[in-house]
Amino acid sequence: MIIDLKNLTIKKVHEHFIKGDFTALDLARAYLKNIESKNKDLNAYLEVFDDVEEQAKIADDKIKAGKADILTGIPFAIKDNILIEGRIASSASKILENYHATYDATVIKKLKEAGAIFLGRTNMDEFAMGGSTENSAFGVTKNPYDHTRVAGGSSGGSAVVVAGDMALVALGSDTGGSVRQPASFCGLVGLKPTYGSVSRYGLMAMGSSLDQIGPITKTAEDAEIIFNEVHGKDINDSTTIFENTHPKKDLKNKKLIIGIPKNFINKDGVDKEVFTNFEASIAKIKLLGYEVKEISLSDIDYSLAVYYIIMSAEASTNLSRFDGVKYGLHKDGKNLLEDYLMTRGEGLGKEVRRRILLGTYVLSSGYYDAYYNKANDIRKTIKKTFDNVFREVDVILTPTTPTPAFKIGEKSKDPLQMYLEDVFTVTANLTGMPAISVPSGFTNDKLPIGMQFIASHGRENILFEISKVFEKNGVK
């Protein structure tokens, strides 16, 4: 049987395994063949693991024994900041180029128990700092739709391997849109779960109050399957929540109300084709029988500034551990301080250094109250605004990004223009709400466009429901 990688889903693969149409080993080899032919041009994988076939054989034994989980034998790609015991986890940084993880992240442990196959680790913006994967110490990842354009970031490699049929599904991390934005740029589904619903244990921290691990997939159903497998309370992560922390709403006979924040979206900087696609998505939502209601999100204009203050502050603190003393790159200076300066100066890229400096500044004496504390106060106000809005609507619809994938190098010299790409995505991280990006069409140049659905805490079930209906009715 010829394996049609382009149209496979998790359920389809599982059914083929059970029927005996092909084996996990056959599927793994098909992906390895694609990786060999495509990755040199796209630079999506930093490493392809050398034991993929051995992993597949173990999965096949499990399938033959009738002990297969829905994810048994499913080929995953893993972002380079998620730890797999014994594997290199560099976070796409020179300072950790040869660091080998000493334990499994909780999500990896759960996937191993399910029998998933890990194909390799994917490229990303260094320490997840960026929206284009141009900040990787190991080269830019290219968009599979146009190799002159970025893949998005920071989980760009994870998105490209799925879009390029070099993995069935992938894991990324989302601090301000780093799963949703590359998913949008590559025509995929990207989920940022409710904060605390998926353990961060074994994820290299950038912004501890913002980070969440999420799946990048071709369908909303695949994202749902993975989320259901990896979410849950974890004793190793005190921020994780119990499943009943946010009770689910019964969707039976419920007509969902979709909120449209026109005051936030009618702004300069939103690409004309993205805005046209947004209007078309609203029309599509109405035709599908959903009620549409215009809403106002006061204080949301401050979200991007608040996000970059809080994220930089937390990143500067988290990255202080990478000093070359216990692990990673080490440079010898005349004294300990010079060791630090030489190691971090050579091992960390420009964007990482920029954010460390910004974060250290806003946390410094005399500026802590003026910047960091004020940002946290406004963050609470933004959260209250969304809580109030979700008393009126079930879901909020926005574009995922203000533009389609931009040219490589186009924004790398202007950090502010790059940061503006996060304008629609950062609010979900600031508030802890779940959000999902789904494909909604293409530009005239055949570049993917994504729409973002945001729900209140713990309402991933609503996001999956509406996303499956939305994608079922086709992307034009």
pLDDT reading at 247 higher than 90:
no
* Known catalytic membership, residue 94: no
pLDDT reading at 476 higher than 60:
no
* Known catalytic membership, residue 178: yes
Residue 332 confidence class, pLDDT cut points 50, 70, 90? confident
Predicted confidence at residue 92, as pLDDT, reads: 98
Report, as an integer, the average pLDDT of 276-296.
Answer: 95
Query: pLDDT over 70 for what percent of the chain?
Result: 98
Predicted confidence at residue 1, as pLDDT, reads: 75
Q: Which residues fall within 8 angstroms of residue 12, CB to CB, at 6 or more apart?
A: none
Report, as an integer, the average pLDDT of 169-174.
Answer: 98
Predicted confidence at residue 405, as pLDDT, reads: 98
Predicted confidence at residue 366, as pLDDT, reads: 87
Q: Which residues fall within 8 angstroms of residue 368, CB to CB, at 6 or more apart?
A: 362
pLDDT reading at 288 higher than 70:
yes
Predicted confidence at residue 343, as pLDDT, reads: 85
Residue 90 confidence class, pLDDT cut points 50, 70, 90? very high
Report, as an integer, the average pLDDT of 186-214.
Answer: 98
Residue 319 confidence class, pLDDT cut points 50, 70, 90? very high
pLDDT reading at 326 higher than 90:
no
Predicted confidence at residue 399, as pLDDT, reads: 97
Predicted confidence at residue 347, as pLDDT, reads: 84
pLDDT reading at 251 higher than 70:
no
Predicted confidence at residue 245, as pLDDT, reads: 84
For the domain covering 1-476, report its CATH number.
Answer: 3.90.1300.10
Report, as an integer, the average pLDDT of 303-319.
Answer: 96
Predicted confidence at residue 246, as pLDDT, reads: 83
Report, as an integer, the average pLDDT of 41-63.
Answer: 98
Cα distances (Å, whole numbers) of residue 244 to 212, 235, 249, 393 = 19, 16, 11, 21
- pTM summary value: 0.96
Report, as an integer, the average pLDDT of 146-153.
Answer: 98
User: Out of 246-255, 304-313, 429-438, 441-450, which region has the weakest mean confidence (pLDDT)?
Assistant: 246-255
* Known catalytic membership, residue 312: no
Given the residues 79, 109, 192, 218, the one annotated as active site: 79
pLDDT reading at 267 higher than 80:
no
Integer Cα distance of 397 and 278 in angstroms: 9
pLDDT reading at 257 higher than 80:
yes
Given the residues 91, 173, 178, 440, the one annotated as active site: 178
Computed over every residue of the chain, the mean pLDDT equals 94
Integer Cα distance of 292 and 160 in angstroms: 33
Token pair of 351, please?
């964007």
Residue 286 confidence class, pLDDT cut points 50, 70, 90? very high
Report, as an integer, the average pLDDT of 109-122.
Answer: 98
Predicted confidence at residue 336, as pLDDT, reads: 80
Residue 338 confidence class, pLDDT cut points 50, 70, 90? confident
Predicted confidence at residue 475, as pLDDT, reads: 64
Predicted confidence at residue 253, as pLDDT, reads: 66
Q: 14-45 burial string, b = 16+ CB within 10 Å, else e?
A: bebbeeeebbbbbbbbbbbebbeebbeebbbb
pLDDT reading at 250 higher than 90:
no
The predicted-structure confidence for 357-401, as pLDDT tens digits, reads as follows: 999 999 998 889 999 999 999 999 999 999 999 999 999 999 999
Given the residues 91, 93, 154, 316, the one annotated as active site: 154
